[in-house]
Amino acid sequence: MRKVKVWDPIIRLFHWSVVLTFVANAWAIDDESKLHQQVGWLIVALLGLRVLWGLVGTQHARFSDFPPSIPAAMRQVQDIATGRLHHHIGHSPLGAWMIYALLLGLAGLCATGVMMTTDRFWGIGWVEEIHEALMVVTAVAACVHVAAVVIESRRTGVNLPRAMITGTKVMPHDDAR
């Protein structure tokens, strides 16, 4: 086995902060409260941090390290279907699609959330409806993400959740790219 440093502290801080703030705002905090808005602003800041870090951060944090690619995703699906093991060091192609979906969902939630605090969009139905729809879509995506991480961890023999805590992936010696 070899240990590969993959996720830097900023990525890990971002990841777990988003988990906490999204879960809190989606299920624990009253939608109509000041706190809900404040946590929302915190998510805006976290997203800003992530975008910046995606441009200038460490290797596997950069968006250039995991571009959304349909051919690569399909290759990964084929690998899964045929039982071929391939270890990705950073985000896998399917993982990349999920990350962008989650980032866009959160961005949409933040945008519609902020809009609802403006005079122009105060009490305007469609803004709230999109906000609520995005919440469900993002929540479902997050659940799929968790399930996929568990499934992929078992399939490839790499403890992915642990890696997002320690920053290090413990991987077999093979053709990891």
Partner 1 sequence: MKLVKALPLILACAVAGNAALASSRVNETTYNEIATKMAAEGYDVRKIEIEDGEIEVYALKDGKRLEIYLNADLSVNRIKTND
Using CB under 8 A, which of the segments 7-15, 49-57, 148-156, 162-170 binds partner 1? 148-156
- Angle value at C-alpha 50, between 99 and 33, nearest 5 degrees: 90
- 10 vs 137, which CB is nearer to partner 1? 137
Site for partner 1 contains 114 (CB under 8 A): no
Min CB(47)–partner 1 separation in Å: 20
Contacts made by residues 31-34, CB under 8 angstroms, sequence distance 24+: none
Cα(131)–Cα(68) distance, integer angstroms:
25
Among 117, 162, 172, 174, binds partner 1 (CB under 8 A): 117
Site for partner 1 contains 151 (CB under 8 A): yes
Site for partner 1 contains 147 (CB under 8 A): yes
Q: Are 86 and 175 spatial neighbours (Cβ–Cβ below 8 Å)?
A: yes
Closest to 151 in 3D by CA, of 64, 76, 60, 74: 76
Site for partner 1 contains 119 (CB under 8 A): yes
Site for partner 1 contains 122 (CB under 8 A): yes
Q: Are 78 and 71 spatial neighbours (Cβ–Cβ below 8 Å)?
A: no
DSSP label of 8:
-
Binding to partner 1 in span 52-111, by CB under 8 A? none
Strand spans (E) along 6-43: none
Closest to 166 in 3D by CA, of 19, 4, 55, 1: 4
Report the amino acid identity of residue 126: W
- 34 vs 173, which CB is nearer to partner 1? 34
Binding to partner 1 in span 1-60, by CB under 8 A? 26-27, 31-32
- 16 vs 122, which CB is nearer to partner 1? 122
Provide the binding-site residues for partner 1, judged by CB under 8 A.
Answer: 26-27, 31-32, 117, 119, 122-125, 132, 135-136, 139-140, 142-144, 146-148, 150-151, 154
